[in-house]
Amino acid sequence: MPQDDRRRRFELLALPHLDAAFNLARWLAGNTADAEDVVQDAYLRAYRYFDSFQGGNFRVWLLTIVRNAFVTWVKENRSGRMVFTPDTPVADTAETEETLWGSRPSDPEALLLESIESQTLGRLMEQLPAEYREVLLLREVEDLAYKEIADVTGVPIGTVMSRLSRARLALRKLWLQHADTEAAHGV
C-alpha cells in the first residue's frame, strides 16, 4: 500500500532522530511536558509535509520543523512573551567589544570552564535568550554547519556567525558572574 509505505519510510527516517528532536525542544521550551508537545506537533507536521522533503540531510529538515513548531507553540501558549527577539541594529551598535567581552578576569583560573559542573552549565544555559540557546545547541550538540544552522533558523549565514559569537560570549559572561558569586560566598 503506498500510504503504508509512506508511513514506513517516514518512521525509518524520523525515529532515529527522536532524541535530537527532543533535546532541542527541551532546551528551547525549558521543561519536559512542553517539549513533548512541541516534538509531537513537529512529528505530525513532518509527516504531513513529508512529500516535500527533497532529500539531503533529514535531521536538518526535521530540526527545522521542531524549531518552527516551537515558535508556533510559543505564540499559542506564551502570548505576549517574546522569546525570539530579532538581532536589532541597536544591540549591534550599542554593544561594543568591551561590553561583549566584559572586563578581562584578573585571575585566569576563573576561566577554567573545564571545572564547571554539568548542572551549573545547564542552569546558565537556561538564562540565555532562546535564539542564543538554539544556535549553541545546533552548533555544539547537533554539530551542524553554519549553512545548516542558517536553514534551520531562517537567518543569513553571517548572522549565524555573529549570533554564535554573542551566544558564546554571553555564556562566558554568565559563567564569570557565577564564579565571582561563588568566590564571594567562599565556596
Closest listed residue to residue 131, CA positions, set 80, 72, 84, 90: 84
Q: Is 4 in the site for other proteins (CB under 8 A)?
A: yes
Q: Is 3 in the site for other proteins (CB under 8 A)?
A: yes
- Give helix then strand counts, H and E, for the chain: 10, 0
Restricted to residues 15-74, the positions that interact with other proteins (CB under 8 A) are 15-23, 26-27, 32, 35-36, 39-40, 43-44, 47, 56-60, 62
Instruction: Work out how close the CB of 186 gets to other proteins at its nearest, in angstroms, rounded to a whole number.
Output: 24
How big is the CA angle at 94 (ends 80 and 132), to the nearest 5 degrees? 50
- Figure out which of the listed residues 143, 184, 185, 186 binds other proteins, where binding follows CB under 8 A: 143
- Figure out which of the listed residues 68, 71, 84, 116 binds other proteins, where binding follows CB under 8 A: 116
91, containing H or E segment: helix 89-94
Nearer to other proteins, 56 or 156 (CB): 56
Nearer to other proteins, 19 or 80 (CB): 19
Closest listed residue to residue 102, CA positions, set 165, 177, 181, 178: 177
Residue 97, C-alpha cell as written in the block: 567589544
177, containing H or E segment: helix 157-184
Instruction: Work out the number of other CB atoms within 10 angstroms of the CB of residue 94.
Output: 9
The residue ranges that bind other proteins (CB under 8 A) are 1, 3-9, 11-13, 15-23, 26-27, 32, 35-36, 39-40, 43-44, 47, 56-60, 62, 97, 101, 111-114, 116-119, 121-122, 125, 136, 139-146, 161-162, 164-165, 168-169, 171-172, 175
